[in-house]
């Protein structure tokens, strides 16, 4: 393409072609600069074809956390959420997470959940406007006010934006860009960068 432009008298000062995907997999396409886009935030540009953020050596820059509003032991078969579409599979403890679709949590998120005390806790029922319910397990020590991780880098077993994208039949881009204005942003200094 550059040769074609040169032939008609157009000589760009800078040549660039690479988006995040090309930057990660095709060094021959880098030319004078690259436009890393989503990879700058440590997320894979294409989960299906390139793999997870972690498999590409990327370190996700965003963690989403929320507090438990309530913690309650319930019996097997207890209906949960709007329409009582879900029933608890056993005697367990449920937690109400103080974030919902008004904050950017996808309403459809089958297979997603939160991470707390070394355990993945799956969503039960529908995501509501301001909250959703998770199964904390029968032996949890969780109390109201405890923090849970909705997604993070995945280094400790927590769900990632890739996981949430897959669970909501979407992509990680949508998960991280849809977080609403009610959610405070806290910027932390970078202490290590996983770039070699």
- pLDDT, tens digit, 9 for 90 and up, residues 75-110: 999 999 888 889 999 999 999 999 999 999 999 888
196 confidence band (pLDDT: 50, 70, 90): very low
Q: Is 90 buried (19+), middle (13-18) or exposed (0-12) by CB count in 10 A?
A: exposed
Domain covering 64-177 assigned CATH 2.40.37.10 in the classification: yes
Over residues 155-175, the mean pLDDT reads: 94
> In this structure, what token pair is assigned to residue 1?
């393409």
The span from the CA of 132 to the CA of 94, in Å, is: 10
Query: Domain extents for the chain?
Result: 2-56, 64-177
Enter the pTM of the model.
Answer: 0.86
Question: φ, ψ for residue 115 (rounded to 5)?
Answer: -120, 130
């Amino acid at each position: 393409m550059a040769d074609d432009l040169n032939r008609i008298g157009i000589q760009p000062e800078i040549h660039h072609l690479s988006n995040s995907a090309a930057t990660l997999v095709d060094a021959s396409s880098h030319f004078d600069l690259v436009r890393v886009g989503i990879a700058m935030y440590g997320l894979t540009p294409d989960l299906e074809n390139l793999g997870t953020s972690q498999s590409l050596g990327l370190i996700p820059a965003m963690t989403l956390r929320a507090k438990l509003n309530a913690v309650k032991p319930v019996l097997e078969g207890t209906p949960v959420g709007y329409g009582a579409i879900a029933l608890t599979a056993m005697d367990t403890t449920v937690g109400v997470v103080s974030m919902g679709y008004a904050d950017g949590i996808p309403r459809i998120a089958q297979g997603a959940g939160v991470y707390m005390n070394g355990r993945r806790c799956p969503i039960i029922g529908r995501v509501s406007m301001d909250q959703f319910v998770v199964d904390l397990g029968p032996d949890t020590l969780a109390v109201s006010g405890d923090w849970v991780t909705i997604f993070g880098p995945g280094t400790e077993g927590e769900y990632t934006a890739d996981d949430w994208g897959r669970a909501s039949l979407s992509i990680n881009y949508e998960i991280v860009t849809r977080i609403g204005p009610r959610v405070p942003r806290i910027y932390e200094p970078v202490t290590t960068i996983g770039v070699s």
